[in-house]
Amino acid sequence: MNIVACVKRVPTTDAEVKVAADGKSLDESGLSYMISFYDELALEEAVRTKESHGGEVTVLTLGPSSGTKEIRECLAKGGDRAEVLADPGWLSRDCRATAKALAAKLKDLGADLAFMGRVATDRDNAAVGPMVATYLGWACVTDAISLEIADGKGSAKRETEQGLETIEFSLPAVITCNKGLNEPRYSNLRGIMAAKKKPFEESPAELVENQASVSALAPPAPRAESRILGTGPDAVPTLIDTLRNEAKVL
Amino acid sequence: MKPILVFVEITAGAPRRASLEALGAARATGAETVAVFCGEASAAAACNGAQKAIALGGDSSSPDALASALADAVKNNDCGGFLAAATSAGRDLAPRVAAHLDAVLFSDCTGLEVSGDQLAARRPWLAGKVIADLVSSADVFCATTRLNIFTPSEDTGPDSCDAATITAKPKARVTSLEAKASARLDVQEAPVVISGGRGMGDKEQFKLLEDLSAAFGNAAVGASRAVVDAGWRPHSEQVGQTGKTVSPQLYFAVGISGAIQHLAGMRTSAVIVAINKDAEAPIFKVADYGIVGDALEILPVLTKAIQAVKAEA
């Protein structure tokens, strides 16, 4: 099976982020990066699917041409080859342009299954997976927490506010992965050594113009100063009174 | 301005609260608001804020076929905007609709503004560490609305309802739904969220949060990443950067120190109460009100007090 894990390099989740002097973009100085949390699940599911069905796992990313450390790490965790779609403007690339570039590459690669994270933990848009599937005319399951593939078909479960949905679909398909689907493996020394010899290709991303533009980027409005109402259970009556008469939420 | 089409989710014959909020957001822009839903035409009148309604007939079990029908409805009604609530269904469908319209999507918006003839979105990035104001050059402005942010309209829906049919060949279909055991509210929908962290001591003590939640009646229990990773609570309850982002009217952080990833997920709540042993915990920096002390001692007293308040009401 021709399997692709689409991953994105994002600022680490523990990062304090600052707005750049232009008031429209992130201050990149001092930022460090990681593969988006849910994309780690996508990579793991891609590798597991290969382990049970055979085939090859391509790690696909749209990102900076310098950002190869995180992609090498994906090869150490079981990816067979990497394709970087180089985009100097990757930090401000919108979901539509990203989806179109990924869709074009997935078509070139002749993929049967593409795994992505449920959402990238930078723009929190959760849009690229279903957009890619729609551009390609493929099936798509979002937020998958279980997956079975057999005979060119698949079955997946996702959790909604109403309960647990089962979705049956045909291949090719895009699956976006949610926590609970698997526990990603760690890389080991053997994997890291093997990764050095795996094919690693970079080509310029096929890009359309962004439709989204940022008119302003700002830190969240500061919250009012907090008030400690007291210590221990004795403070409960004060809390009730405050929530009722001051905050007016009771 | 061109009309805005809003996808409305119907449960038990009536629009979901989250969809009424999305309709309210559309109506507040001043644009003509068109509600589209799967179900009986009789639901149209309950689509508050809509001037026009379309009931989609046919098989609605395929998200790809439904998205295709929604995109057709946008085109056939010459709409300049498409909105859905950022629920499971809305987040799944909206990107597909946007792709059919070859438009960019702004997910989980906390603000919608009209400037001139153009719509602008406000939404958190990096789980709320920064707030972005965005405009789209697409022909159709596509967005999903964060729950508990927008106010439903007081105008009732239309008396009449048009019909359209879902016709695209499905590539995927929902074949079953295992409904939740209880009618528990989701953390993203509940007006009150009571989250617990490591400070709860162990898994069993979450019963105290369940009790407080039950006393409120309209609350959901949430959890920090630490307790989800420890297996005390399911991921569906996790609040924070790798969980859900919530904006309830009242948020309790109990035994949660307040890692930056957690703060990102709850700082847009209207009122935040923190209960923590450690007076220096970062959670007290974003909380409106705090009690310093052992959550296990405070919670039973708080639950009784809330029960008394609710009994009065």
The percent of residues in chain B predicted with pLDDT above 90, rounded, is 91
Domain residue limits, chain B: 4-165, 192-312
Average pLDDT for A165-182: 97
Q: pLDDT by residue (tens digit) across B31-59?
A: 999 999 999 999 999 999 999 999 999 99
- Give the 3-state secondary structure of residue B238: strand
Given an 8 Å threshold on Cβ–Cβ distance, is B298 in contact with A236? yes
Q: Give the burial string for A62-78 (b: 16+ CB within 10 Å, else e).
A: bbbeeebebbbbbbbbb
Q: Dihedrals φ, ψ of B144, to 5°?
A: -115, 150
Nearest CA of chain A to the CA of B52: how many Å? 27
Residue B180: closest C-alpha in chain A:
A163
ipTM of the complex: 0.96
Dihedral sign (CA A210, A213, B85, B50): negative
User: If you average pLDDT over every residue of chain A, what do you get?
Assistant: 95
Q: Is the pLDDT assigned to residue B150 strictly greater than 90?
A: yes
Nearest CA of chain A to the CA of B122: how many Å? 9
Same fold, B4-165 and B192-312: yes
Given an 8 Å threshold on Cβ–Cβ distance, is A215 in contact with B270? no
In this complex, the residue of B89, B99, B261 whose CB is nearest that of residue A160 is: B89
Given an 8 Å threshold on Cβ–Cβ distance, is B135 in contact with A213? yes
Q: pLDDT by residue (tens digit) across A183-194?
A: 999 999 999 999
Given an 8 Å threshold on Cβ–Cβ distance, is A96 in contact with B298? no
Residue B38 identity:
C
Q: Is the pLDDT assigned to residue B157 strictly greater than 80?
A: yes
Q: Give the burial string for A21-56 (b: 16+ CB within 10 Å, else e).
A: eeebebeeeeeebbbbbbbbbbbbbbbbbbeeeebe
Q: How confident is the model at residue B183 (pLDDT cuts 50, 70, 90)?
A: low
Q: Give the dihedral of Cα atoms B141, B142, B146, B149; nearest 10 deg.
A: 30
Q: pLDDT by residue (tens digit) across B92-147?
A: 999 999 999 999 999 999 999 998 889 999 999 988 889 999 999 999 999 999 99
Alpha-carbon span B132 to B33, nearest angstrom:
25
| pTM of structure | 0.94
Average pLDDT for A151-165: 95
Judged by a CB distance cut-off of 8 A, whether residue B230 touches chain A is no
Judged by a CB distance cut-off of 8 A, whether residue B169 touches chain A is no
- Give the 3-state secondary structure of residue A204: strand
User: If you average pLDDT over every residue of chain B, what do you get?
Assistant: 95
Decide: A5 and A39 in contact? Cβ < 8 Å: yes
Judged by a CB distance cut-off of 8 A, whether residue B60 touches chain A is no
Q: pLDDT by residue (tens digit) across A80-101?
A: 999 999 999 998 999 999 999 9
Q: pLDDT by residue (tens digit) across B121-131?
A: 999 998 888 99
- Chain B partners within 8 Å of A159 (Cβ): 88, 236
Decide: A116 and A109 in contact? Cβ < 8 Å: no
Average pLDDT for B1-16: 95
- Give the 3-state secondary structure of residue B252: strand
Size of interface A-B (CB pairs under 8 A): 271
pLDDT recorded at residue A14:
87
Q: Is the pLDDT assigned to residue B228 strictly greater than 80?
A: yes
Q: pLDDT by residue (tens digit) across A29-65?
A: 989 999 999 999 999 999 999 999 999 999 999 999 8
Q: Is the pLDDT assigned to residue A223 strictly greater than 90?
A: no
Judged by a CB distance cut-off of 8 A, whether residue B95 touches chain A is yes
Residue A232 identity:
G
Q: How confident is the model at residue B180 (pLDDT cuts 50, 70, 90)?
A: confident
Of B144, B164, B160, B142, which is closest to residue B53 (Cα–Cα)? B160
Q: So what CATH class is B192-312?
A: alpha beta
Average pLDDT for A218-238: 93
CATH number listed for the domain at residues B4-165: 3.40.50.620
Q: How confident is the model at residue B194 (pLDDT cuts 50, 70, 90)?
A: very high
Sheet holding B52-57, edge to edge: B105-109, B141-145, B81-85, B4-8, B33-38, B52-57, B162-165
Judged by a CB distance cut-off of 8 A, whether residue B241 touches chain A is yes
Q: How confident is the model at residue B182 (pLDDT cuts 50, 70, 90)?
A: low
Q: Dihedrals φ, ψ of B174, to 5°?
A: -80, 120
Which of B171, B263, B303 is the mutation pick for testing A, counting most A CBs within 10 A?
A: B171
Given an 8 Å threshold on Cβ–Cβ distance, is B126 in contact with A130? no
Which of A93, A100, A125, A227 is the mutation pick for testing B, counting most B CBs within 10 A?
A: A125
Q: Is the pLDDT assigned to residue A67 strictly greater than 80?
A: no
The structural domains of chain A, ordered by start, are 2-204 (3.40.50.620)
